[in-house]
Amino acid sequence: MTPTQATARFFNTAADLLNLPDRERKQLLTPYREIKVECSFTRDDGSLATFVGYRVQHDNSRGPMKGGIRYHPQVDIDEVNALAALMTWKTAVVNLPYGGAKGGISCDPGQLSLGELQRLTRKFTQRLHDVIGMYTDIPAPDMGTNSQTMAWIMDEYSKFHGHSPGVVTGKPVELGGSLGRDAATGRGILFAAECLFADLGKKVSEFTYAIQGFGNVGSWAARLFNEAGGKIVAVADVSGGIANAKGLDIPALVAHVAKTKSVAGFPGSEPILADELLYQACDVLIPAALGDVLNGQNAGRVKARFILEGANHPTDPDADTVFAANGVTVVPDIFANAGGVTVSYFEWVQNVQEFRWEEEKVNTELRRVMQKAYADLSAVRKKYGCDLRTAAFTLAVDRVATATRLRGI
Ligand code: NAD
């Protein structure tokens, strides 16, 4: 099943519950605009390199479109389409005044020098500058990109349109980025977990955790769950995995990764295969790397009782069926990892107002948004007697369909 087919299946389950007419389904599923561009630049050795970049703008009925830019070899139009649609549903679940978009370049950023990455990013921005903007479409970091990438996009865009910090979020704080943005996705996962566990009369500190991915999302999730008293028993990144049933020393691991660029070889841990991370003995699994890692074939091997989706689209609908049968609770990406886009929204609000928030205000407002979204989700779950993913899609599709109807054709 392709990512677009999987996302459409989640959408249709929600649309069935809402009795959405076919004409509205087609309108909501069809992207507003798909863009594919050639990005050529001179490599450090003087040769010419050409990569293909994409931006899919999915829906703008609730506000400007919003979504990350990914640099990864697997980026293609199908994946970008699915991720753009997920952004529409995600911004609706947490009730931000945004629509959804996504972009990326099919490349391996690890094989490019800093200078090459800058030239590639500037070329991509030159190709897109006419169709992105503060009130049109606002990119942000995703896999393989970071605050430096956003700084280059802002600078290149500003050459065409004048000083425009609000055209991207996830910028360095020195250039109008928000305090708390780096940690926001991990912090949002923590707030989502607190809501879920409170419903069960439990606390974050009562569980063990395994985390796939130790980049922005995975490493911040590890730090924040660890600070909240949770025991992190396994983590993996692209280079391999590590485990310790007694709990990993997360501050020391963060320092080890800063030095060596990988979790492998961390003192006081057993090596495991990166793929085996998903099947480790733990209470809570947090996929925070690639999409499509849990499917009908491997879902039965997962031992965790809870899955908090830090990554976008880590679970396909067949895996959801297995998890439901096995009593595994899945907190879906479009709620669990919405902390990133929520603090991106706070950053944009600060740029629009030209006014800075303290980090404490950012984190307090983030908690409020996540708690309100969880309360909204719980009400939908109760009304339809469905799982959390179906509740999240139903809440989101209802909000987007209502906005589309009110705006008219
Ligand atoms: P990142 O590039 O900072 O980190 C990615 C991590 O995944 C790295 O540690 C990498 O080594 C690891 N990884 C890659 N392939 C792997 C494999 N086969 N097995 C194990 N680990 C592997 O990316 P990120 O920003 O942390 O994003 C991770 C996921 O979270 C993506 O799905 C992204 O779309 C999603 N997400 C990110 C944000 C954000 O604010 N950055 C917000 C919402 C969702």
| Secondary structure of 73-120 as H, E, C letters | CCCCHHHHHHHHHHHHHHHHHCCCCCEEEEEEEECCHHHCCHHHHHHH
pLDDT in tens, 24-60: 999 999 999 999 999 999 999 999 999 999 999 999 9
Number of structural domains the chain divides into: 2
Mean pLDDT calculated for residue range 312-341: 97
Mutate which of 171, 178, 217 for ligand 1 pocket (most atoms within 8 A of beta carbon): 217
Nearest alpha carbon to residue 302 among 225, 217, 212, 213:
212
For residue 312, give the ligand 1 atom closest to its CA.
Answer: 32
Q: How confident is the model at residue 3 (pLDDT cuts 50, 70, 90)?
A: confident
65-118 tens-digit pLDDT: 999 999 999 999 999 999 999 999 999 999 999 999 999 999 999 999 999 999
Residues 309 and 387 in one domain: yes
Q: Is the pTM of this model over 0.85?
A: yes
Beta carbon of 215 within 6 Å of any ligand 1 atom: yes
Instruction: Indicate if 265 and 343 belong to the same structural domain.
Output: yes
The yes-or-no verdict on residue 170 having pLDDT over 90 is: yes
Separation between Cα atoms, residue 360 and residue 351, nearest integer Å: 18
Q: Is 183 in the pocket of ligand 1 (CB under 6 A)?
A: no
Q: Are 107 and 138 in contact (CB under 8 A)?
A: no
Same domain? 78 vs 101:
yes
Does 323 share its domain with 388? yes
Pairwise pLDDT comparison (27 vs 409), residue with the higher score:
27
299 belongs to a structural domain: yes
Check whether residue 187 and residue 47 sit in a common domain: no
Domain of 272, in residue numbers: 179-352+361-409
Q: Which of the residues are catalytic?
A: 102
**What does pLDDT average to over the chain?**
97
Residue after which a domain boundary falls, among 175, 207, 231? 175
Nearest to 239 by CA among 281, 282, 275, 186: 275
Q: DSSP label at 263?
A: S
Q: Is 212 in the pocket of ligand 1 (CB under 6 A)?
A: yes
pLDDT for position 399: 98
- The CATH number assigned to the domain holding 286 equals 3.40.50.720
DSSP class of 362: H
